[in-house]
Amino acid sequence: MSVAPSPALPQQTAAEQVRSVLARALSLSLTLGGQTYDLLGAHTVGARGRITLHPPADTPLTDHLALAPADALDARIDLTDIAPTALRDRVRARVTLTGRLAPATPGDPGSLRLDLARVVLRTGTGTHEVAPGAYTLAAPDPLALEEAALLTHLADAHADLVSELVDRAGSRLPHGVVRALPLAMDRHAVSLRCEYGEGHCDLRLLFPGEARDAAEAGDMVRRLLTAPRCAHHH
């Protein structure tokens, strides 16, 4: 029960979505030579989205790197973006980056940078190829790092407000909503997942203006309750 939003609606670009996923990711999976390693807290994202891996010492990954020929470090990095609230089907996006690993600092094998060749974003609306140039020029959404706290606060402390927002959507939603929970938030809008006995649909509510930080986002959510009805669902 998901329809792509109109391109005319303000929304993050695919490149911004990828950068936002990376900005808040604590873990990733690295695939090298057919072997996959799960890394937790072992990467950083620098200027222009440059990913640097900091493999922990004395692990199967460092053994693999020590034995790998210098010209055979083709790598794939996978990240999964999970909704912070306890809704059904919590995977919001998957990001795959492929390229080659090289020492981040010449002569220092302790950290490795990914020289990017390809970026793919998969969401509920489909698969999107992101040009590496667009990726490096994009910036994460300004709410990316605070989004989880904003959504969990909305779910835990303001369930009545969420219900009111769903009520305001009125005829735009199919009947029979069993539960609604915050799904996502960016500078343009808050999205709610409306769950039914079977299946769900997502409701995107555009803010009256752009939110540049958490305080403005909270204000925008409150203003939605008094704004003209302008909900869009997909």
- The domain limits of the chain are 14-137, 147-233
> Tokens 């203006």 label which residue?
209
Rounded distance, CA 221 to CA 75, Å?
A: 41
Q: What is the pLDDT averaged over residues 198-221? A: 94
Dmax (CA) for the chain in angstroms is 63
Q: Quick one: pLDDT at residue 70? A: 65
Rounded distance, CA 153 to CA 147, Å?
A: 10
Q: How confident is the model at residue 204 (pLDDT cuts 50, 70, 90)?
A: very high
**Closest by CA position to 181, among listed 151, 209, 157, 206:** 151
Q: Quick one: pLDDT at residue 226? A: 85
What fold does the segment set 14-137 form as a domain? Pnp Oxidase; Chain A (2.30.110)
How do residues 51-86 score in pLDDT, each as one tens digit?
999 998 888 998 888 887 766 689 999 999 999 999
Per CATH, the homologous superfamily of domain 147-233 is: PNP-oxidase-like (3.20.180.10)
- Please, what is the Cα angle at 224 between 9 and 8, to 5 degrees? 5
The model's pTM:
0.89
Q: What is the pLDDT averaged over residues 157-182? A: 88
